[in-house]
Amino acid sequence: MFDTARPVRHQRSHGHAAVGFDAGRLTTLRQQGSAKALLPHVRGVPEVVFLNTSGGLTSGDTLHYGLDLKGGTRAVATTQAAERAYRADAGAAKVQVLHQIGPGGWLDWLPQETILFDRANLARETTVELASDAGCLLLEAVVLGRAAMGEVVQDLQFSDMRRIERAGKPVFFEPFLLNSNILAKGPRSALLGPARAFATLVLCAPGAEDAVGAARTVLSEPGVEAAASGFDGKCVVRLLAEDGWPLRKQILKLMNALRRGSPPPRVWQT
């Protein structure tokens, strides 16, 4: 007989994947639990693809990704698929991303979309630590449910902290919160309007503000509202869309412009 009086203890997923390069050579590859790091054979700069084998995130799950680039290494990192945050009734799932870029290094951190389902609870923190002369391109894209499946997200708790530091000092700091109270304001909310997909791209490097013109020339995808600004060694692009597909197409155009024609990571190619 089953003891229905005892509380049910659900299995939780925990993962940690860390990759290190020095002068373009792999020095560290550590994988634990549900987090994996794939190293596809590509020409040019190294490419790292992080993967969560649990298939999604819910209450109590934890996930850690990290890159350590030394010796002037330039690298591209992404995720194998869109990360999914499912219904979470017993606390938040937690994701921590920490990338360290040494002198002369560069990272394109281009994870695929995060899809938030109804009653998801996700707390994520992304930090990129740059040496004084290092640079990065940082992307975060979020989709509220799957429009093709008729999903509507009404109950949600999403905390997303994005930080870029240069020589130990913050140069880009953006705390973001989206919850049920904000969603309840409806389509006239000043935050999203009718959009259910949104993204931010940040190019951070000396002279990055000069990339604003290139970014604005490709902000033409139908169904996407976008704006770009440049200041103090940064080019920041904000995107809003009513669905994830036009948002993705606009992001690919921006990748091409901000990465000077370099192809997107293989897992992004359509």
Segment 24-42 shows an average pLDDT of 96
| pLDDT the model gives residue 190 | 46
Which among 168, 157, 151 is positioned nearest to 101, based on CA atoms?
168
* 38 is a domain residue: no
**What mean pLDDT value characterizes the chain?**
91
Q: How much is the average pLDDT of 44-70?
A: 95
Asked if the structure places residue 107 within a domain, the reply is yes
Question: In this predicted structure, what is the pLDDT of residue 3?
Answer: 56
> What pLDDT is recorded for position 5?
56
Strand blocks (E) in 71-105 = 74-79, 83-85, 93-101
Domain that holds residue 118: 72-264
CB distance 85 to 93 below 8 Å: yes
pLDDT at residue 189 is higher than 60: no
Query: Does 208 reside within a domain?
Result: yes
Question: Within a domain: residue 122?
Answer: yes
What is the band of 188 on the pLDDT scale with cuts at 50, 70, 90? Answer: very low
Does a structural domain hold residue 18?
A: no
215-232: pLDDT as tens digits: 999 999 999 999 999 999
Residue 248's H or E segment, with its range, is helix 244-258
Q: Which residues contact 206 (CB under 8 A, 6 or more apart)?
A: 133, 135, 233
Could you tell me if residue 99 is inside a domain?
Answer: yes
Instruction: Summarize pLDDT for 38-51 with one digit per residue, the tens.
Output: 999 888 899 999 99
Confidence of residue 90 (pLDDT cuts 50, 70, 90): confident
Regarding predicted confidence, which is higher, 148 or 144? 144
Structurally, the chain folds into a number of domains equal to: 1
What tens digit of pLDDT does each residue of 1-24 get?
Answer: 455 555 556 678 899 999 999 999
Residue 145, SS3 per DSSP: coil
End-to-end alpha carbon distance in the chain: 52
The structure's pTM equals: 0.92
Q: In this structure, which long-range contacts are made by residues 183-191, counting pairs with CB atoms below 8 Å and at least 24 apart in sequence?
A: 183/153, 183/154, 183/155, 183/156, 184/154
Q: Residue 190 corresponds to which tokens in the numbers above?
A: 């000043």
* Bridge partners of residue 129, in order along the sequence: 100, 165
Looking at the predicted structure, is the pLDDT value of residue 114 above 90? yes
Does residue 147 fall inside a structural domain?
yes
Which range among 49-58, 153-162, 207-216, 221-230 shows the weakest confidence by mean pLDDT?
153-162
Between strands 156-166 and 114-116, the pairing is unpaired
155 occurs within a structural domain: yes
Query: What mean pLDDT comes out for the span 22-42?
Result: 96
